[in-house]
Amino acid sequence: MRTFKLVSLLVLVAIVFTACTPAAPSGGTGSTGGELKIAILAPLSGPVPTFGVSTREGSLLAIEEWNAKGGVLGKKIVPIVEDSQCTPDPAVNATNKVIDQDKVHYIIGEVCSKASIPVSEIVNQKNVVQISGTSTNPSVVRDNNGNVKPYTFVACYNDEQQGKVMSKYASGTLKAKTAFIMLDQANDYVKGLAEFFEKNFTADGGTIVGKETYTAKDTDFSTILAKVAEANPDVVVLPDYYNIVNLVTKQAKEKGITAPFIGGDCWDSPDLDAAAAAGGCFPNHYSPTEDRPAVKNFVTKYGEKYKDDAGAAKLPDALAALAYDATNIMIQAIADAGADDPAKVKDIIAKGKFEAVSGSITFDAFHTPIKPVTIIAVKDGKAQFDSQVMP
């Protein structure tokens, strides 16, 4: 009897699950007829679900606006959202699915570089245009031989440009002559930013007075900070995530270290301890507090459409802004091409100039935007727009 119950329960569960899976479309209608499909690959589950949600929201907002204006090429834009989990395998599966089954010609995403790279391999074999909003690794747009991938673009600056901006801001605005670098040697992203900073800073005549490494699990930075105090630099470079930044800046304040900290876009988090990091600054893709009309318009519309848990208007983060930009660039290019033709669309993106929330964008030879980088200063208990620096 018990076995029977168990078996019937299993059958029931199986039925429920199959019922939940959406039925596969019977025939690929393609992008013909009255609709044009755009796929959005976002990590809605996996390690960084908030990145995925922001990306989806930013992208869907752009599509909704275009549809309100009558779509593109007289067709309604239909978004297809896939969960790519910030992981290569699911991202590849999702890409194959949207291209082969849904006959999609345009893809927005992925968010993470490690997932965007395998996606870019596929789209360049199948001639599908891909724009990733936020993958900052140069390998997303370059193949192993250093050649540009013709069908892949990114809407964000890369780590090289970011390191350059950090250095420019340090030696320009902050008039720093000496810098102390703190980095997590095991994190490629942190290491890359530190290297690009060092290269540019020394080229501009600055001196690196010290360089100390730590690991991501460290909590006690007193020894490193003792060395910082001893070296007495003009700026301290700390391009790491907010949890490390909170620890280091707090302990530095208690040691009486007054040199400002410079970070990377990874400082951008609601959990950043603004009191401890006060006086510090970091480059970011955009700031919702900037006065530019494009930014204000985007922040208002986003807040009207999306609410947080408390029901208040949601403030778009950089991921939402870049997804919105990427989607707008894609649709604008399709409109300018005048036809649903990926080969034409990619040429228009490569040569075009786009007014976007994150600044006025043109693409360089490696399909990476040339645009001003926003510097955010931490003061008065929050992260605020400071200035824009051209890399």
Partner 1 sequence: MQPAITSQSSPSKVHRPKQRLAWIGQGFLLVLVIGIVYVVASNLIKAPTLFGQIVLSGLQLGFVYALIALGYTMVYGIVKLINFAHADVFMVGAFVSYYAVARFSMHQWPVAVFPGISPTMAVIIGSGTVILLSMIVCTALAVTMERVAYRPLRDAPRIAALITAIGVSFFLEYFGALSFVFSSRFIPYQRPFEVVAWYIKDGIHLVVPGQAPPAQSITFSNIFLIIVVASILVQLVLQYLVRRTKIGIAMRATSFDKQAARLMGINVDQVISFTFAIGAAFAGLGGVLYAVAYSSIYSQLGLLPGLKAFVAAVLGGIGSIPGAFVGALIMGQAEALTMGYISTPMRDAVAFSILILVLLVRPTGIFGEPEKEKA
Between 253 and 301, name the residue whose CB sits nearer to partner 1: 253
Question: Which range of residues in 200-208, 252-260, 287-295, 341-349 is near partner 1 by CB under 8 A?
Answer: 252-260
Q: Would you say 45 or 67 has its CB closer to partner 1?
A: 45
* Least gap, CB of 252 to partner 1 (angstroms): 11
Q: Is 187 in the site for partner 1 (CB under 8 A)?
A: no
Task: Name 84's Cβ contacts closer than 8 Å, sequence gap at least 6.
Answer: 41, 42, 43, 90, 91, 94, 95, 109, 110, 115, 119
Residue 295: its H or E element: helix 293-305
- The SS3 call for residue 141 is coil
Is 188 near partner 1 (CB under 8 A)?
no
- Name the minimum Å distance from CB 304 to partner 1: 29
In degrees, rounded to 5, the angle at the alpha carbon of residue 219 between the alpha carbons of residues 214 and 221 is 60
For 14-49, b where at least 16 C-beta lie within 10 A, e where not — what string? Answer: eeeeeeeeeeeeeeeeebeeeebbbbbbbbbebebe
Binding part of the chain for partner 1, among 13-21, 173-181, 195-203, 242-250 by CB under 8 A, reads 242-250
Q: Which residue has the tokens 């976002």?
A: 42
Q: Tell me which stretch binds partner 1 (CB under 8 A): 70-78, 150-158, 223-231, 328-336.
A: 223-231
Q: Check binding of 230 to partner 1 (CB under 8 A).
A: yes
Bridge partners of 158, per DSSP, are none
State the nearest-atom distance from the C-beta of 333 to partner 1, in Å: 39
Shortest reach from residue 241's CB to partner 1, in Å? 8
**Span of 24-32, 133-141, 151-159, 271-279 interacting with partner 1 by CB under 8 A:** 271-279
Count of residues for the chain? 391
Determine the interface stretch with partner 1 among 86-94, 225-233, 303-311, 342-350 (rule: CB under 8 A): 225-233
Size of the site for partner 1 (CB under 8 A): 33
Of 89, 218, 304, 308, the one binding partner 1 (CB under 8 A) is 218
The separation between CA 75 and the C-alpha centre of its own chain, rounded to angstroms, equals: 29
Beta-bridge partner residues of 333 = none
Residue labelled with tokens 């950090």: 166
Q: Which of 6, 13, 203, 226 binds partner 1 (CB under 8 A)?
A: 226
Give the one residue of 27, 146, 256, 293 binding partner 1; rule: CB under 8 A.
Answer: 256
* 114 touches 88 (CB < 8 A): yes
Encoded one letter per residue, x for contact with partner 1 by CB under 8 A and - for no contact, window 195-214 reads -----------------xxx
Q: What is the edge-to-edge ordering of all strands in the sheet holding 152-154?
A: 76-83, 35-42, 106-108, 129-132, 152-154
Site string for partner 1, 332-361 (x = CB under 8 A): ------------------------------
Tokens of 295: 């930014």
Q: Is 51 in the site for partner 1 (CB under 8 A)?
A: no
Give the whole-angstrom CA distance, residue 228 versus residue 218.
17
Instruction: Look at residues 55, 4, 12, 16 and name the one whose alpha carbon lies nearest to residue 317.
Output: 55
Q: Which of 254, 304, 308, 364 binds partner 1 (CB under 8 A)?
A: 254
Q: Which is nearer to partner 1, 126 or 250 (CB)?
A: 250
CA 209 to chain centre: 32
Structure tokens of 234? Answer: 């003009």
Cβ 300 vs Cβ 276: under 8 Å: no
CB of 292 to partner 1, least distance (A): 31
Of 308, 246, 305, 306, whose CA–CA distance to 280 is shortest? Answer: 246
379 binds partner 1 (CB under 8 A): no
Choice between 193 and 245, CB closer to partner 1: 245
Name the minimum Å distance from CB 76 to partner 1: 38
* Tokens at 139, concatenated: 């390998």
> Of these, 76, 177, 199, 227, which contacts partner 1 (CB under 8 A)?
227
Residues in contact with partner 1 by CB under 8 A are: 185-186, 212-215, 217-220, 222-224, 226-227, 229-230, 232, 242-243, 246-247, 250-251, 253-258, 271, 273, 276
